[in-house]
Amino acid sequence: MRKLFLALTTLFTVILFTSCGETKKQEPATQNTQKELIEENVVESILTAEEQAEMTPQEIIGRLKKGNENFMNNNLTQRDHSAQRRKAMIGQFPKAIVLSCVDSRVPVEDVFDLGIGDIFVARVAGNIENEDIVGSMEFATAVAGSKLVIVMGHTACGAVKSTIDKVDAEALGMRSLANLMDEIEPAVVETALEGERSSKNTTFTNSVITNNAMRTVKNIREASPTMAKMEDEGKIMIISAVYDMESGEVKFNND
């Protein structure tokens, strides 16, 4: 009986150690599988002319919304930038051009989970248009084939807030900044809202930010008959949006 007990104990010990050994052996294999999965999901390609041609402006909006969801969920696509850089040398076929404020807290590509070759980005404080910006947009759409123009304002925009508060930039020696704020001023004037007309009034400020982006869209259409015609023909869309810095969400104003 004692011998049997000893034999069973030895057997169990052997089984136990063998299973432990197997578990330990499996660990690196599981890690490798996870690494391979991550590597498999790394994007190495860039947009091709065919892919750009196939997309409609509406489809691009849908893709940007999905990308923005990834950004909000902290789930950005992994990209092999070295591989993408090499492929991008052949040419570029971006799907959209985004006009954003210069604000360092608005990382445009990340906000839409995009990378090399995906979008053109134009940036100027307060996301207003001027001849150079419109010229860049004409190149992006009529020459390079992008189907969507987005004017993207953002919450807590310093340029808009300073304009609302009538900061006298010229008196502070910044004539160019004063001129830029003059471009935002009409959006402040046009915003009809009860309550205090100061940047402390967040509701009012957010309305001005939305109106400023919408106004820029209107100005772009007026400044570029070529893009206005392309939009009438359904080839491109020119829309405005506002990026919420707190939630990371981009709200499109045509929703």
Enumerate binding residues for Zn ion (CB under 5 A): 101, 103, 157, 159
The CB-of-67 to Zn ion minimum distance in angstroms stands at: 21
Instruction: Check if the beta carbon of residue 147 is closer than 8 Å to that of residue 235.
Output: yes
How far, rounded to the nearest angstrom, does the alpha carbon of residue 158 sit from its chain's CA centroid?
Answer: 20
The CB-of-64 to Zn ion minimum distance in angstroms stands at: 20
- Cα(36)–Cα(31) distance, rounded to whole angstroms? 9
| 76 vs 158 by CB, closer to Zn ion | 158
The CB-of-156 to Zn ion minimum distance in angstroms stands at: 8
Residues forming beta bridges with residue 153, ordered by sequence position: 242
| 92 vs 163 by CB, closer to Zn ion | 163
The CB-of-27 to Zn ion minimum distance in angstroms stands at: 49
- Cα(111)–Cα(108) distance, rounded to whole angstroms? 5
| 92 vs 205 by CB, closer to Zn ion | 205
The CB-of-183 to Zn ion minimum distance in angstroms stands at: 13
Q: How far is residue 30 from each of residues 26, 34, 40, 66, 249, measured CA to CA in Å?
A: 6, 6, 15, 30, 35
| 55 vs 150 by CB, closer to Zn ion | 150
| 36 vs 165 by CB, closer to Zn ion | 165
- Cα(154)–Cα(127) distance, rounded to whole angstroms? 9
The CB-of-157 to Zn ion minimum distance in angstroms stands at: 3
- Cα(122)–Cα(132) distance, rounded to whole angstroms? 10
Q: How far is residue 60 from each of residues 67, 68, 84, 148, measured CA to CA in Å?
A: 10, 12, 20, 7
| 48 vs 201 by CB, closer to Zn ion | 201
Handedness of CA 77, 112, 50, 254 (dihedral sign): positive
- Say if strands 148-154 and 237-243 run parallel, antiparallel, or are unpaired: parallel
